[in-house]
Amino acid sequence: MSYYFSTTVKGQDFDQVVKQVTDELKKEGFGILTEIDVKETLKNKINVVFKKYKILGACNPHFAYKSLSLEDKIGVFLPCNVVVEENNGSIEVSAVDPVASMTSVKNKSLEDIAGEVREKLKRVIGNMN
């Protein structure tokens, strides 16, 4: 089982893709809790040059609340990360597969929630083309 799903976007600017991903996530009920600019962070912290790479910490508050109500330590898996990265002239958008990350938690109710979140994130990725 893969731990993520992704798509490649061509012919768009990196920042446009980040905005589009954010908009698509909002349509599915997610907000962005964190935005990590890996390129900038690596340059500032260890003075290395890295490709454009952003990690968006996406959270759907309804699903987060349900999950935390069932398993208070499930927060170690939250938020759902979505990555936007530049690769040789194209941009790849990837999202964590919450079903894969929840397999270690033996709670049927969480599996159902993870399946619903997976479908929403797959729609986001599918709408990027």
pLDDT tens digits, one per residue of 84-94: 999 988 999 99
CB atoms within 10 A of CB 108: 7
Whether the pLDDT of residue 1 is over 70: the answer is no
- Residue 102 binned pLDDT confidence (cut-offs 50, 70, 90): confident
Domains of the chain in start order, with CATH, are 4-126 (3.30.310.70)
Using the CB atoms, write b or e for 48-80: b if 16+ within 10 Å.
Answer: eeeebbbbbbbbbeebbebbeeebeebeebbbb
Residues 6+ apart with CB under 8 A from 25: 31, 32, 56, 58, 82, 124
- Using a 10 angstrom Cβ sphere, with 0-12 exposed, 13-18 middle and 19 or more buried, the burial of residue 84 is buried
Mean pLDDT of 108-115: 92
Hunting for tokens 């941009």 — which residue is that? 91
The pLDDT score that the predictor gives to residue 104 is 86
Cβ-in-10-Å burial (0-12, 13-18, 19+) of 38 comes to: middle
SS3 73: helix
